[in-house]
């Protein structure tokens, strides 16, 4: 088995997830990619043979997630870095939403993080260190009117990661929350915000660079929470 470190990434979509995979491949990692879309994962694995590996999985399903992590551990070894990038989102005010939508988002955003941490951080502790990172957004800090089915689950995700940090941090596992206060540069975003300049959008590659930076901070100066936004973003 290769001695190159392993990074596990959930929610490998066409934007941020793909960029994170490619940044960690560039950094010398073997990357385990988790997502529901097999075709996208297979295409990325073909693009990075021997460095990116596809594991089809719905992180909201605890059995699928457990099996996927077990497969990663058997095929590649225990991850040194875990990035929970999968996101469950929906919009509406509290009178419009239903329990099922909130529950589904909670499963993806919060319960999957809990399960990932339980399945992977003990190995990091045993091996003397590692990192578990969540990509999030400012919904984790505030409940806007139409974010009722989303913000509570992101806030819970952030607080859960803080609890993980308080336990695992002294054992040399860096737990960090990366909040993205921006419109991410994707084709749908360009089509929606046609009047915005290029520097209005946050580039997936730049988000991935910050993920990589967080995963490699020196222990004397760890960031537990980071908020990134384009310089022109109002806040």
CA distance 120 to 113: 11
Higher pLDDT: 166 or 183? It is 166
Tell me which residue has tokens 């952030």. Answer: 158
Q: Distance between CA atoms of 79 and 81, rounded to whole angstroms? A: 5
Percentage of residues of the chain with pLDDT beyond 90: 88
CA–CA distance, 79 with 121 (Å, rounded to integer):
9
Q: Which of 168, 166, 144, 165 is nearest to 155 (CA)?
A: 144
Joined together, the tokens standing for residue 129 give 């260190």
- Tell me the pTM: 0.95
pLDDT in tens, 59-103: 999 999 999 999 999 999 999 999 999 999 999 999 999 999 999
Q: Please, which pLDDT band fits residue 19 given cuts at 50, 70 and 90? A: very high
pLDDT bin (cut points 50, 70, 90) of residue 3 is: confident
* pLDDT digits 0-9 by tens, 99-135: 999 999 999 999 999 999 999 999 999 999 999 999 9
Give me the pLDDT at residue 60, please: 97
In the three-class reduction of DSSP (H, G, I as helix; E, B as strand; rest coil), residue 4 is classed as: coil
H or E element at residue 177: strand 173-180
Is 113 within 8 Å of 161 (Cβ atoms)?
A: yes
CA–CA distance, 157 with 134 (Å, rounded to integer): 8
CB neighbours of residue 92 within 10 Å: 16
Delineate the domains of the chain, giving CATH numbers in brackets: 6-228 (3.40.50.720)
Q: How far is CA 58 from CA 36, 88, 187, 211, 212, in A?
A: 5, 11, 24, 22, 24
Q: What is the mean pLDDT of residues 129-148?
A: 96
DSSP run (H or E) holding 47 = helix 38-47
What is the CB-side half-sphere exposure of residue 50 using CA atoms within 13 A? Answer: 5
């Amino acid at each position: 088995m290769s001695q190159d470190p392993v990074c596990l990434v959930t929610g490998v979509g066409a934007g941020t997830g793909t960029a994170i995979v490619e940044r960690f491949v560039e950094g010398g990692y073997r990357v385990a990619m988790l997502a529901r879309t097999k075709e996208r994962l297979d295409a990325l694995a073909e693009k990075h043979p021997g460095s990116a590996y596809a594991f089809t999985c719905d992180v909201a399903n605890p059995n699928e997630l457990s099996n996927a992590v077990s497969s990663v551990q058997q095929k590649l070894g225990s991850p040194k870095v875990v990035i929970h990038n999968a996101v469950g989102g929906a919009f509406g005010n509290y009178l419009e939403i239903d329990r099922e939508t909130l529950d589904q988002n909670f499963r993806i955003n919060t319960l999957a993080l809990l399960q990932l941490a339980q399945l992977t951080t003990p190995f990091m502790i045993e091996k003397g260190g590692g990192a578990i990172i969540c990509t999030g957004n400012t919904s984790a800090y505030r409940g806007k009117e139409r974010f009722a089915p989303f913000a509570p689950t992101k806030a819970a995700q952030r607080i859960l990661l803080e609890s993980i940090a308080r336990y695992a941090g002294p054992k040399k596992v860096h737990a960090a929350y990366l909040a993205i206060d921006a419109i991410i540069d994707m084709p749908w975003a360009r089509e929606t915000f046609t009047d915005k300049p290029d520097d209005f959008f946050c580039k997936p590659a730049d988000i991935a660079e910050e993920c990589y930076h967080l995963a490699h901070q020196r222990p004397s100066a760890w960031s537990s929470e980071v908020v990134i936004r384009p310089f022109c973003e109002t806040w």
